[in-house]
Amino acid sequence: MLSVNDIRNNTEELLGRLQLRRFDAHNYFTEIIELDGKRKKTQTELDSLLASLNQLAKEIGELYKKGNAEEAEKRKSETATIKESSKDLTDKLHKTEEAIKSLLVLIPNAPHTSVPKGSASKDNEIVKESGELPNLKEGALPHWELAEKYELIDFELGAKITGSGFPVYRGKGARLQRALISFFLDKALDAGYTEYQPPVLINPDSGYGTGQLPDKDAQMYLLEADKMYLSPTAEVQLTNLYRGDLLKSEQLPIKMVAYAQCFRREAGSYGKDVKGLNRLHQFDKVEIVQIQHPDNSYNVLEEMTDYVSGLLDQLELPYRVAKLCGGDMGFTSALTYDMEVYSGAQKRWLEVSSISNFETFQAHRLNLRFKEADKKACLVHTLNGSALALPRIVAALLENNQTTEGIKIPAALIAYTGFDIID
């Protein structure tokens, strides 16, 4: 959520940045600034009314103390009209505040000035490519066939006990999952992140804090009886750990990592996008989150991107990094890098990580601030990224490393899997 003061003070700049995602905020801004003026005026009126009411109450109290009940009763009658108008003004104030908020939640984050203008993924800017594309022989199998051949993943059994998009991993398939999770967590620990194991159910306040609610609720599974959602990403839990906090500047940066199972309804997806592991309703992901001083956030975004690149290097997967154009970025992000690995048999790039700086957009909703000595509290910057999401990594590992003898495990992982080939 953008802040009204920013909109008021940096109107032109924000309008320009929002143009990068082809969002015309002009009318929103005009209306918000006008409503905010109204809000201030109402606040002033209400405050002075309440002041007089408080004064009267005090006087009445003193009169009773002195035993002058008659005069006190007389004064009481004076409060009636003041109370009535203060109630009206309070209603008006709340309505105005609601109106402002209802407009603010419709406005996406303002993209960083370096974000390429554009409307779709074709306009993204490839900023890095790394690794050789695999040169697979004719007849190389896609991962879902390899998964069946080596009895690693059973999609039908998953459909039987739950539904489509909920695979069952078994044998070396299950062990590979466990290995990847440990590998990713250990690397994050080495990089200075604190490990967390959060719940996977989230309450509506948390969903609202990171921006999944109010309008992306269709993407989440809802447990109606308990008014909770299954978390779509550990970003929600980790970032919300600090919701509502006022941090001391010495506490920054805060670096967190968590492995969590993630749940997404993915309504409307179909075809080759959902084949095999390409898109699941339940999947495993290791997520890194940082709460940062605003001065550092963009340097840190680069660091995080380099960190994730390093993981892919160690897994010996060919990948590319895209700086997302305005139209392809998420609602809450100011700048996003997507990491894509090449899946040799499908001959497709698969997104395995998305690393974003949200600037103050989430912090504002979360009311998450920090304070430097003798200065006013101000909003932190939040960042997060997958490091990494498992299914597509597994897809690429299986496809790219298939040989006539079996599927080779990259050297960095062998200590975790306990085997070097799937055969």
Residues that bind RNA (CB under 7 A): 39-40, 43-44, 46-48, 50-51, 53-58, 60-62, 64, 76, 79, 83, 246, 369, 371, 376-377
Identity of the residue, 250 or 405, whose beta carbon is nearer to RNA in the bound complex: 250
Phi (first) and psi of residue 344, to 5 degrees: -60, -40
Residue 369 to residue 177: CA distance in whole angstroms: 37
Phi (first) and psi of residue 135, to 5 degrees: -105, 80
To the nearest whole angstrom, how small is the minimum distance from the Cβ of residue 40 to RNA? 4
Q: Are the beta carbons of 303 and 274 closer than 8 angstroms? A: no
Residue 358 to residue 210: CA distance in whole angstroms: 10
Q: Tokens 């000035």 identify what position? A: 113
To the nearest whole angstrom, how small is the minimum distance from the Cβ of residue 86 to RNA? 9
Identity of the residue, 70 or 132, whose beta carbon is nearer to RNA in the bound complex: 70
Identity of the residue, 68 or 182, whose beta carbon is nearer to RNA in the bound complex: 68
Q: At what angle do helices 390-400 and 172-190 cross, to 10 degrees?
A: 120
Q: Six-digit token pair at 295? A: 């001065």
Residue 299 to residue 293: CA distance in whole angstroms: 11
Identity of the residue, 46 or 409, whose beta carbon is nearer to RNA in the bound complex: 46
Identity of the residue, 180 or 291, whose beta carbon is nearer to RNA in the bound complex: 291
To the nearest whole angstrom, how small is the minimum distance from the Cβ of residue 365 to RNA? 15
To the nearest whole angstrom, how small is the minimum distance from the Cβ of residue 61 to RNA? 3
Nearest to 28 by CA among 55, 1, 60: 1
Identity of the residue, 206 or 346, whose beta carbon is nearer to RNA in the bound complex: 206
To the nearest whole angstrom, how small is the minimum distance from the Cβ of residue 364 to RNA? 11
Q: Six-digit token pair at 279? A: 């898109």
Identity of the residue, 40 or 117, whose beta carbon is nearer to RNA in the bound complex: 40
Q: Are the beta carbons of 339 and 352 closer than 8 angstroms? A: yes
To the nearest whole angstrom, how small is the minimum distance from the Cβ of residue 45 to RNA? 9
b/e 310-322 (16+ beta carbons within 10 angstroms → b): ebbeebbbbbbbb
Residue 337 to residue 21: CA distance in whole angstroms: 15
Phi (first) and psi of residue 259, to 5 degrees: -90, 135
To the nearest whole angstrom, how small is the minimum distance from the Cβ of residue 202 to RNA? 12
Nearest to 203 by CA among 175, 222, 179: 222
- Name the DSSP class of 210: H
Identity of the residue, 94 or 272, whose beta carbon is nearer to RNA in the bound complex: 94
Q: How far is CA 182 from CA 259, 274, 388, in A?
A: 9, 26, 11
To the nearest whole angstrom, how small is the minimum distance from the Cβ of residue 349 to RNA? 42
